[in-house]
Each structure stands twice: as C-alpha cells, then as structure tokens.
Structure 1
C-alpha cells in the first residue's frame, strides 16, 4: 500500500509539472494512470472523522501549544493508520490552533 501511495504522489507531482509546462496530453496520461492506481488504495477517511480524532488526541495528550503540532500530527497519523494523507492531517491539526 505504501508503494502505491508513493506512485500516486509521483503521478500528482508529474501532473502539476506537465500542466505548468503546457503539456496537457502528458498530464492526462498521468491522470489516467493515477486513477487506476487509486482503485487499489482503501477509501480515504472523511475530514470530519479526522478532525474528531485530532480533537480527541489533542485533549488526551493535553496539547495546547502550537509548538507541539508535530506531536499531534504524529499521533493522529498513527490513529488513522494510513487511511489519510499527512498533508490533510497537518492542515486539520493546524486549524485547531
């Protein structure tokens, strides 16, 4: 599963670069490959569920300081067990402060 996620991320990065470079044809090819790869991944966890987990972990760990965001992100990532992207978790955790 980690390998497939890495491949999806590579495709996403390629799509952004091809789009910025004006190569819509290559971007479409990457999007098609990414869609196929995503069929092998489990469904993403909804953001409201991630936020609920983040709030619970924040309370459980007693984190009230913005300097400890990394600890909270790590705890939420461990709890979600790869069902969400770390970037999304970081955005949700930052919104709590």
Structure 2
C-alpha cells in the first residue's frame, strides 16, 4: 500500500470514528500532497507525487509544527503548543522510524564510502545518497554537520 492509500484509509477511519482532531490533521496532509501534485502538473509532470515526495512533505510538516509548538510555548500559549504536538504524533505515524545516533553514523559512513567522498566538495553526493535511501528517517539538517565533520 503506497503512502496516499495509507493516508486515505486513515482519513476514512477518522471520519467513521468522528475523530475531529485526527481528521483535521489528515486533511492537512492530503491538502499538502495535492498542492505538490498541482505544482508538478504545472511543471509538466502528470504522474503526481511519489512516496519519497510524500515523505518529504510529512517531514516538513513535522518540522513546521515543532517550530510552531516552540513559539507557542515561548509565548505562553500552552494549549496551542499541545495541539501542534498532537498533530506531530499523527503525522509521524506515516513516517518511517527515525534512525538512532549509531545507525545515523553507520549510514553516513556507508554513503561516504559509496561515493568515494574525500572532501567537503563531495558533500552533495553524500547527501544525495542519504536522501535516496533514508528520506523520512534522518534529520538532514543535523546530518549535514556530521558529514562536514567527517569530510572537513
């Protein structure tokens, strides 16, 4: 079952169970996917978004909600921060398990070996391999610093 089917099945279940919060979040996910579909069609790609694109969309949604929750907390709006966190939990249900620190290091080392990277100039190649294999499983913002440390 591809990502869209999983999300649509969860959406139908949420409708049947009358789970308003979950339904709202799943509709936001669907809207983001449809926005990406429309953008792709505008560029001449009629095939629609693939699972890897959906994973990127979901990862971006999680990151946005984490930032919003932090901002709400700093502003003393705990109830809004809690809502953002509950949305994060729903979105994360569709993301693969995040790699732990040791698995991340192993993945970086393997990507460096695979690309024969020797300097910081090869960082793009390493990131390309990691994104192809681990989209949704790694925080690429944090990984970039680790790659720099290994290649620098």
- Inter-partner Cα distance in structure 1 for 2:114 and 2:95: 30
Change (3 A) 1:36 1:60: closer
TM-score normalized with structure 1 length: 0.76
TM-score normalized with structure 2 length: 0.53
Aligned to 1:86: 140
Aligned to 1:70: 124
- CA shift digits 1:21-67 (9 cap, x unpaired): 23222112211221222223221122322221221221232212123
- Inter-partner Cα distance in structure 1 for 2:135 and 2:60: 16
Residues paired across the two proteins, number: 97
Aligned to 1:10: 64
- Which consecutive segments of 4 or more residues in structure 1 shift more than 3 A? none
Task: Give the structure with higher Rg (CA).
Answer: 2
* Aligned residues: CA RMSD: 2.1
CA contact (8 A) 2:65 2:84 kept: yes
- CA shift digits 1:64-86 (9 cap, x unpaired): 21232222112222122432222
Gaps of 5+ in 1: none
1 or 2 for the larger relative contact order (CA 8 Å, sep ≥6)?
Answer: 1
Gaps of 5+ in 2: 1-53
Q: Does 1:21 align with 2:75?
A: yes
- Inter-partner Cα distance in structure 2 for 1:59 and 1:38: 30
Of residues 99, 108, 111, the one that matches 1:45 is: 99
